[in-house]
Structure 1
Amino acid sequence: MTRFQNPSGGISQEALAGLMTEAVHQALMQHGVMLDAEALASASKIAGHVAAALPFLPQAQRLAISSFKGEWTDLASDFFRAMTNKAASDGPATSGRALERSPPKSETERPAAQPIAERAAELQSMLIEDWAGEVAGSTYLEEKLRIPRSTLHRWQRRSEVVALRKGGRKHVFPLAQFVDGRPVPGISDVLSAIANPRLAWFWLTRPSPELDGRIPIEMLRKDMVEDVIRAARTLS
């Protein structure tokens, strides 16, 4: 039996790290953490390998970690600073390894396009109820918010409202975008910048680093339109 084999569960440290990495990756995606694809993968791998290492430590070390009463956030920051310093001190060797992994220049001219495309594809495969919040069809909106179907369809044609396809041709509408029976100002500008409705709504409902962690749709509901539009155009 090696130190990489868990004597009770039989799973190897590497296998456990892989499972943990995937779990962290899914959690970051579901909570809308805005990272590019490479940073998201790195964050997931680091968290996965750190968590998977703990069960394989000697008991004395596990007890020492369990009794730690310090500030975990500061400890994590120190860890990343140490990693950065090590990478900088390695100098040309690190740079050479990075260049070997880098794609040709022609493939890197649009750094943001691939992560956004990947996110749109992932949202397309997810159930709307799992990420979009409360949504409703045209019948509910007509009965509860007194929005005529003709008006709703006109807003949809003009991209003044976020409409999410559900099933074949049916669309549902996130309720958080409506105030006093009308879509909040700025929706059309966001959809102009982020053409995919699922991706646009996903961004609108998550804390945005471009807005200091504020949630765009909440800002639109408070008439803070210009900041949101500027941030959306930055993403596009």
Structure 2
Amino acid sequence: MTRFQNPSEGISQEALAGLVAEAVQQALTQYGVLLDTEALVMASKIAGHVAAALPFLPPVQRLAIGSFKGGWTGLAADFFRVITDKIASDDSADRAFERSPKPETARPTARQIADRAADLQSMLIEDWAGEVAGSTYLEEKLRIPRSTLHRWQRRGEVVALRKGGRKHVFPLAQFVDGRPVPGISDVLSAIASPRLAWFWLSRPSPELDGRVPIEMLREDMVEDVVRAARALS
């Protein structure tokens, strides 16, 4: 059996997914796609499993997918949105079974928040912050002049994460059309630590029913996010 045998010749769906994932990871690396190691592996695995599932579908379903003329980019975005919501829902359910905090202790205390900020200072940005980039990349790819970026940083209008000595990197998810999404400055006013602010912005929040704050800001749901950030602080 060769590496490229089709399903009828014996290759398993799992094996095929592994081959596709390997090829995707090589392609992403070759073309310099800006992803941290964990995200790179995850993107490759997802692509592998999606592609490998198609040959194993019944003929009718394959024909239906083949006739799809819609936007694949939008469909992919919807797929990840559903997965994120499911993960957030599952995590919330697990936490509910693990503990039932009293109303007065349900929200994190100032001490817990400070401890979390200290933990993040000792962690590598690539391990938790998602895709980040420096000023050179933002100027070349997003057409954001360095002077503008630094002005935003001084005014607290953009999340800047210190990396190394004096160097800063900027999470890419906070930019839309070359500008920080509305509400970033309000969140930074409520949560003074940029690392803690981005940690909260980039993960499902119990204060927002499991939704991810930065995604809500990108959808112009500023008031809800700012209200939750102020309540957290």
What's the TM-score once normalised by structure 1's chain length?
A: 0.54
1:209 aligned residue: 206
**Alignment partner of 1:221 out of 218, 223, 226:** 218
1:121 aligned residue: 118
Q: Please state how far the C-alpha of 1:76 moved relative to its aligned partner.
A: 9.6
1:130 aligned residue: 127
Matches within 5 A, 1:55-94: none
Cα deviation digits, residues 84-134 of structure 1 (max 9, x gap): 9xxxxxxxxxxxxxxxxxxxxxxx9xx711101100000000000000000
- Structure 2: state its 5+ residue gaps: 1-91
Structure possessing the higher radius of gyration over alpha carbons: 1
2:145 aligned residue: 148
Rounded to whole Å, the distance in 2 between the matches of 1:172 and 1:204 is 16
Q: Structure 1 residues 145, 115: closer, same or farther in 2, change over 3 A?
A: same
Q: Please state how far the C-alpha of 1:214 moved relative to its aligned partner.
A: 0.3
Q: Structure 1 residues 75, 151: closer, same or farther in 2, change over 3 A?
A: closer
Rounded to whole Å, the distance in 1 between the matches of 2:93 and 2:226 is 34
% same residue: 84
Q: Structure 1 residues 161, 75: closer, same or farther in 2, change over 3 A?
A: closer
**For 1:173, what is the secondary structure of its paired residue?**
strand
Matches within 5 A, 1:14-33: none
2:193 aligned residue: 196
Q: Please state how far the C-alpha of 1:208 moved relative to its aligned partner.
A: 0.5
- Structure 1: state its 5+ residue gaps: 1-72, 85-107
What's the TM-score once normalised by structure 2's chain length?
A: 0.55
* Amino acid across the alignment from 1:197: P
When the two structures are aligned, how many residues end up with a matched partner? 138
Rounded to whole Å, the distance in 1 between the matches of 2:93 and 2:176 is 41
Q: Please state how far the C-alpha of 1:74 moved relative to its aligned partner.
A: 9.3
**For 1:162, what is the secondary structure of its paired residue?**
coil
Matches within 5 A, 1:31-46: none
Runs of 4+ deviating beyond 3 Å: 73-81
2:168 aligned residue: 171
* Amino acid across the alignment from 1:149: R
What value does the CA root-mean-square deviation take over the aligned residues? 2.8
